[in-house]
Amino acid sequence: MRTKYLQRILVAVAISTLATVSIGGVSLAHAATNGTYRSACELYSYRPTISGSTITGVGGRHGCSNSVKWVEVSLWRDNWVKDTLLAKRSKGWVNTIQLSVQSSTGQAGSGAYVYTYTKSATGATKSSSNIQL
């Protein structure tokens, strides 16, 4: 009885492993035959920077071969409840893009926490860490 149970667990683990490898393994197998490695398609959001009285947030999408309807990068003030939009910028029908957005430190307020937020038409999102003004 115990042997059959262990066999079922091993079969389930093997199937899970094969499913995981087959999902991500196509690109890895392709890269191995080419001798090159291609990074995964992903969004990114860098922590905002401050220069004088200007806050700049940078984000985008890279490593992607397919186009999406839009990518949007925005700068937000973290209010702990409902955050405040400071600036946003979007671009349509892109596969790889980097966008920057800017706002004034006065608009955000002294001591405010600000972050960069990137989202795309696919529903993917990425937030940066906060910076305190």
Which H, E and C letters describe 43-54, residue by residue?
A: EEECCCEEECCE
User: Which residues are within 8 A (CB) of 5 and not within 5 positions of it... i.e. 6 or more apart?
Assistant: none
pLDDT at residue 128 tops 50: yes
Asked if 42 contacts 62 with a C-beta cutoff of 8 angstroms, the reply is yes
**pLDDT for res 105:** 94
CATH domain 42-132 topology: Immunoglobulin-like (2.60.40)
Which CA distances in Å does 48 have to 67, 77, 97, 100, 133? 26, 11, 18, 10, 10
Assign 15 a pLDDT band (cuts: 50, 70, 90).
Answer: low
Selection from 56, 61, 47, 62 nearest residue 129 by Cα: 47
Identify the residue whose tokens are 């990074």: 39
pLDDT digits (tens, 9 = 90+) for 71-121: 999 999 999 889 999 999 999 999 999 999 999 999 999 999 999 999 999
pLDDT at residue 22 tops 70: no
Within 10 angstroms of residue 102's Cβ, the number of other Cβ atoms is 15
Domain boundaries, the chain: 1-38, 42-132
